[in-house]
Structure formats: structure tokens, C-alpha cells
Amino acid sequence: MIQIIPVGISTDVRAHDELDVIILDAIGEKRIEILDGDVLVVAHKIVSKAEGHLVNLASVRPSRQALVMARKHGKDARVMELILKESTHVLRAQNGIIISETKHGLVCANAGVDQSNVQGDVAVLLPVDPDRSARRIKDKITKKTGKEIAVIITDTFGRPFRNGQTNVAIGVAGINPMRSYIGSRDMYGRKLRVSEIAIADEIASAAELVMGKAEGVPTAIIRGFRFEKVKNSSARSLQRSRALDLFR
């Protein structure tokens, strides 16, 4: 049986905080333990905060391009400048929505630049290397608990042709983020040619059912799900290449 266990964090995460310590303390407060095979799902915002990826907007000087785009799309020019700096390509800009490809290869709104749930005139950026961040959390928790776990770092994305947003994996450690059925056969004996399941995204989405920014629940444990353990896993395998992407 699969369990989804919310882990609330009462303290405000700040730059240079030891995130593994904060998470383990929060888990201890719930009187539960980390078990072998648990998947720890962590919202990227607390990772970004702990790693110091926050920008005081007063320090941002918008470029001419940012000023022009900000006026056209009704955005803060300082935030627009951060979006441009975090992007390699702006793919769509319409109705105040900026869809871009980030330096990580992610395609999302505003290059992941976010002002929600932070104090003051501040914006939060995505972690520089979400996979590395996930490995760091995993390794520290495994060292302290002796338990072999997986870690998934998430963000909330919109999707083409679908309303609403859902959690997706932007960084992983200790888990194969994909499950391929290519080469196997269906129940009628037909050979499967394209079936690959985005396991890490599905776990991220399931965890979001109990997570919430406003509720102070930025982490969750998925327990009882059998996954393929991989030493050097990466969320980049979830990203469709430009050559195969019909929307770019």
C-alpha cells in the first residue's frame, strides 16, 4: 500500500540553513521515522531559500529589452530582467504570460522566477543544479539515518492543452525517473514501441495532494512505492529534446 505523508515545516527556511536537519526535525516532530525505500519529495522553494537563490528586486537594473517586454506584458521590469537572465530562449510571450526555456532546459512560465511566499520585495530563483541539490539532501539524510531513500525536488508547471498546474520533478536522486515499457508486450501480445512512464513526475504530482505553500507543507514522504534505484539519476531524462518537441 502506498502512503503519502505530509511533512510540515514551521520555521522559515533561510540562506545557509541545513535543510536536511530541518526536514529530519520536522519528521521527528510528527513522530515518524525515515524508512528504507522512502521517497522524500521537496518543494524547490525551500531548497532555493536554503541555497541563497533569492534576489532583492531593489538591486536589479532592468535592461532595455526587459523594460520593453515589461511594458508590453504588464510585468515588473525587474522581474522581467530576472526572467531573461534565467532563460536561454523566450518561447512565447502573450497575455502577460512568459514561457521560456531555462538554463536547466526546463520549459516553464517566467523561467521559474517566483515571488510567492517570500517576505519583502524579493524573488526566488530555481536551484542552479536541482539534481545536485537532491543528491546533497539524499546523501546527508542517508548518512544520518542509515536509510536508503530517494529524493525528488519539485516545481509547479502548467501544461499545453490542459488547464491547471501540477507538480513535476526538476531534480532527482536515487531513483530512475522513467519507467520504460519499450520492447515489452501488451496484454494482447502487441509489442510496445513508445510507452515510457514519467515516474518521478507522477510521484511529484501525488505528493502535491498533501503539500501546500500556504499550509506550510513543503515536503512529503511517499512510502510503499517500489522504484528502480539508480546511483547517478537525473531529472534531465524527463526533458524532451528540442528536435522531438512539437511545440518548439
CATH of domain 3-52+127-244: 3.30.1330.100
For 104-157, write each residue's pLDDT tens digit: 999 999 999 999 878 889 999 999 999 999 999 999 999 999 999 999 999 999
Question: For cell 536589479, what's the residue?
Answer: 60
70/9 Cα distance (integer angstroms): 35
**pLDDT at residue 160, rounded to an integer:** 82
Its pTM stands at: 0.93
Task: Name the band, by pLDDT with cuts 50, 70 and 90, for residue 181.
Answer: low
Domain ranges of the chain: 3-52+127-244, 55-123
Tell me if 3-52+127-244 shares its fold with 55-123.
no
* Residue 117 φ/ψ, nearest 5 degrees: 55, 35
For the record, the C-alpha cell of 12 comes out as 522559515
229/232 Cα distance (integer angstroms): 9
**pLDDT at residue 182, rounded to an integer:** 56
For 2-41, write each residue's pLDDT tens digit: 999 999 998 889 999 999 999 999 999 999 999 999 999 9
Task: Provide the CA 41 distance to its chain's centre, in angstroms.
Answer: 9
* Residue 122 φ/ψ, nearest 5 degrees: -130, 145
Question: For cell 503539500, what's the residue?
Answer: 211
60/80 Cα distance (integer angstroms): 10
Q: What is the DSSP string of 109-175?
A: EGGG-B-TT-SSSEEEPPPS-HHHHHHHHHHHHHHHH----EEEEEEEEEETTEEEEEEEEEEEESS
Coil, strand or helix at 95: coil
Which residues on adjacent β-strands are paired with residue 3? 223
139/23 Cα distance (integer angstroms): 13
| Mean per-residue pLDDT, 51-58 | 96
pLDDT at 192 over 80: no
CATH architecture of the domain covering 55-123 = Alpha-Beta Complex (3.90)
Task: Provide the CA 109 distance to its chain's centre, in angstroms.
Answer: 13
